[in-house]
Amino acid sequence: MTGGEVEVVDLVKEFNEVVAVDGINLQMPAGEFFSMLGPSGCGKTTTLRMIAGFEQPTSGQILLDGHNMAFTPPHKRNVNMVFQNYALFPHLNVFDNIAFGLRRDKRPKAEIRRRVADALELVQLTGFEKRKPGQMSGGQQQRVALARALVLQPAVLLLDEPLGALDAKLRKALQIELKELQQQVGITFIYVTHDQEEALTMSDRIAVMSAGRVEQVGPPQDLYEEPTTTFVADFLGVSNLMTVTAQGASSGRCKVALGDFELYAANGDVSTIGETRIVIRPERVRLEAHQSTGENRIPGMVERVVYLGNGNQIIVGLANGERIQALVQNTGDELAYRQGDPVKAYMPAEALRVLTDTGTAPLEDDPRAHAEVHPLEPVAEEASSPNVNV
């Protein structure tokens, strides 16, 4: 399999003056499992539909292996799509559904038979040729849709929330299968989802999108561990977000004031001065006895303990009025804290991160809106560049 590198340059899509996609730049190297993640209305599906050719960009370029295909009609693009509702032709059986594209391509009959059989084997549905889509379960229809797209050996496979209609257990099983399938066929997968867990499980890289913009691009670990914006921190996993007054860098750490308390944050934009937000994941918050001392410790009281099975979620009311969550793994030992107990919440400096914006929505005077974005530069670097003032 050769090719399959997709690049999106300054892509804009407006629907009657509503800006659905607001000038995004993305690079998807050949063979990558790339996800576009975001809440509904963030422009991820519109972007995917533009790559497929169902929507025409208002401006910008869509490059497939270096060739602009923004104005190529969908039936002439070497990309195939798996639709959210599968869109299997209800009047055709499984064989004819999968053979549909090959027949449009005028392949010889023997080849069609062989390739359909191969595709069915790939998705483990051999023997289902004569079934109609209506006689199959959601998971099986999903596989037929995959086979129908993959049988054409596209350079890029587009997937629009393909697991959205399935129940949770099946979804988990198919996530792993999809990832394996992608590694097996080796082509570029562009996957659209609003489910952060799905994106984290399968992707090589993720673009988190919001309001038609790309917030951050990177491997799952980077996005989870090093979110640059409030939106990303909040959207991926559970976050404790706190509004603080930053006092700038001192020996590589940022000193911030949270009410009357002082904290040091070692990650993120440590040179920030002024009001900003810091974030810490619940599993990085450590609860200690009330008497313990040291930096980055804030006294508080256990307000609620929620049993989660694999752990306990503990909600702590801090002395400055802030509420944070701590996640304590279930180790079999009895939990040391009960509702009403005074504790110290220890937030290690290396687990605290200074974010580069203060709101969940991109600000009106967001410097990124006016910044020159070099098309070959990943947007993440742009977003985390130190000259962003907040």
Partner 1 sequence: MSQALARRPARESEFGYTRRLRGWFGNQWGKPRFLVLVTWGYIVWSIVPVLIAIQFSFNNSRSLSIWHGFTLKWYTSTDPNIDSVFHSAELRGALEQSMKLAGLDVLIATPIGVLLALGLARWRGRGSGASNLLMLFPLVTPEIVAGVSLLLLFSQLLTFVPFGTVAQLLGHVTFSISYVVVIVRGRLFSIGRSYEEAAADLGAAPATRLTRVLLPLLLPAIVASAAIVFAISIDDFVISQWLSNGANSTTVPMEIYDATRATPQPSTDGIATVIMVITLLSVVAGVLVYRFFTRGESGRGSAVDDVAGFGI
Residue whose CB is less far from partner 1, 64 or 200: 64
Q: Residue 93 CB, nearest distance to partner 1 (Å)? A: 11
Q: Residue 191 CB, nearest distance to partner 1 (Å)? A: 16
Summarize as ranges the residues that interact with partner 1 (CB under 8 A).
Answer: 52-54, 73-76, 79-81, 83, 85, 87-91, 100-101, 104-105, 132, 134-135, 148-149, 152
Strands 33-37 and 188-193: parallel
Residue whose CB is less far from partner 1, 102 or 383: 102
Other beta carbons within 10 angstroms of residue 336's beta carbon come to 12
Answer whether 326's CB lies under 8 Å from 239's CB. Answer: no
Residue whose CB is less far from partner 1, 163 or 388: 163
Q: Residue 142 CB, nearest distance to partner 1 (Å)? A: 14
Q: Residue 98 CB, nearest distance to partner 1 (Å)? A: 10
Q: Residue 39 CB, nearest distance to partner 1 (Å)? A: 22
- Sheet of 6-15: strands edge to edge? 18-28, 6-15, 59-64, 67-68
Residue whose CB is less far from partner 1, 117 or 319: 117
Residue whose CB is less far from partner 1, 137 or 339: 137
Answer whether 97's CB lies under 8 Å from 89's CB. Answer: yes
The two three-digit tokens of residue 162, written as one number: 């393909």
Q: Which residues of 259-281 are buried (b: 16+ CB within 10 A; e: fewer)?
A: eebebbbbbbbbebeeebbbbbb
DSSP annotation of 315: E
Closest CA to 193 of 220, 159, 231: 159
Residue whose CB is less far from partner 1, 134 or 321: 134
Q: Residue 78 CB, nearest distance to partner 1 (Å)? A: 10
The two three-digit tokens of residue 257, written as one number: 């004031």
Q: Which residues pair with 158 in a beta bridge?
A: 81, 190
User: Any idea how long the chain is?
Assistant: 390
Answer whether 175's CB lies under 8 Å from 167's CB. Answer: no
Q: Residue 118 CB, nearest distance to partner 1 (Å)? A: 17
Residue whose CB is less far from partner 1, 76 or 169: 76
Task: Measure the CA–CA gap between 69 and 63, rounded to whole angstroms.
Answer: 6
